Amino acid sequence: MSTHIWLRAETKPGEARTALTPATARKLVDAGFHLTVERSDQAALPAQAFADAGCDLAAPGAWQSAPASAWILGLKELPSSNTPLAHRHIYFAHAYKQQAGWQGLLQRFQRGGGQLLDLEYLVDAQGRRLAAFGHWAGFVGAALALLTWCGRQSLQQPPLPRLHPWQDQSALLDQLNIAVAPYAEQLPRLMVIGAGGRVGRGAIDLAERMQIPVTAWDLPETKAGGPFPAILDHELFLNAVLATGPQPPFLDAATLARGGQLAVIADVSCDPYGDCNPLPVYNECTTLDAPLITLPGGQHLIAIDHLPSLLPRESSEDFAGQLLPLLLQLNEDSDGVWQRAAQLFDNKCVEALT
């Protein structure tokens, strides 16, 4: 019996990415996998392209009645419910750092006998992530910070209006060039913390294309612990560090109150709901419809937890290419990737009961 992967339709508003593309789906089909893909009106990649690649098509949400042996693949959170979960699910659950609702979610899996294999924790033997959207998250995060700064300069209200996905990165760069043109002689300075990782490198890629001065910090500059007043010397600040435990903040309210040049914060690693937030100056994520929070000092903050969805084609192609070798190992798991993810799920379930 062939391994069955069921790609569910995303339900998060504005989420146009997919964990598979027609090209990677075809490679799985050619390798003997059975693929079902749910139709989606918001996905950037049309369902017919998956059908042409050899996939079966299904209605949105049909995964709930999928065969028990199917692996349910997605990206963002499942619809809110108390229904027990019986399948093996692969997606970004945001539940392993005690975020809001984490216990209830894991208990749904326990009640249904299902399993969560979190995409964020597909790692090699050294703990390095094997599939991530980081580059495009940093790229888009830096772009939005720059657009917001331009909006502030022109007194646009709000400085960053409702967002919609760009057709591709060329369209995004065209818009940026138009927005920046009046300020070519006074470009803002960008500070990136976490510059050595995927997210940080993506942010620096955008900044270099737009010829924005960048201050790049990573472990050597931050090992002493924050807060870091040097951030205030830059008009733009981007956090690219995914914190795994409590730590001194990079910025706090007292530091922001000092003033300085800081106008826009892009928290690409946005995780305001637990104890691992290095920017404890806000407590909820922003959205595509309302992308900005205005802080007490007048700074604007962007904290959208699915930034790569604004470049859905490039980010889907990039991520799906990284994920493909791991999916091809679902049966044999020669590198132990899925075993490690399953063990982590078991450990977190025990933690949820204590």
15 token code pair: 């989420």
The per-residue DSSP string of 249-310 comes to -SS-HHHHTT--S--EEEETT--TTSS--S-TT--S-B-SSS-EEE-TTS-EEE-BTTGGGG
Return the ∠ at Cα 261 (arms to 255 and 267), rounded to 5°: 65
Residue among 259, 235, 16, 250 nearest 147 (CA) = 235
Q: Is 94 a catalytic residue?
A: yes
Count Cβ neighbours within 10 Å for each residue of 279-309 and write b for 16 or more, e otherwise: bebbeebbbbeebbbebebebbbbbbbbbbb
Q: Which of 4, 94, 135, 306 is an active site residue?
A: 94
Overall size of the chain counted in residues: 354
Asked if residues 164 and 288 have their Cβ atoms less than 8 Å apart, the reply is yes
Q: How far is the C-alpha of 179 from the C-alpha of 176, rounded, in Å?
A: 5
Packed helices 134-153 and 312-327: angle between N→C axes, nearest 10 degrees: 160
Asked if residues 87 and 68 have their Cβ atoms less than 8 Å apart, the reply is yes
Active site residues: 76, 94
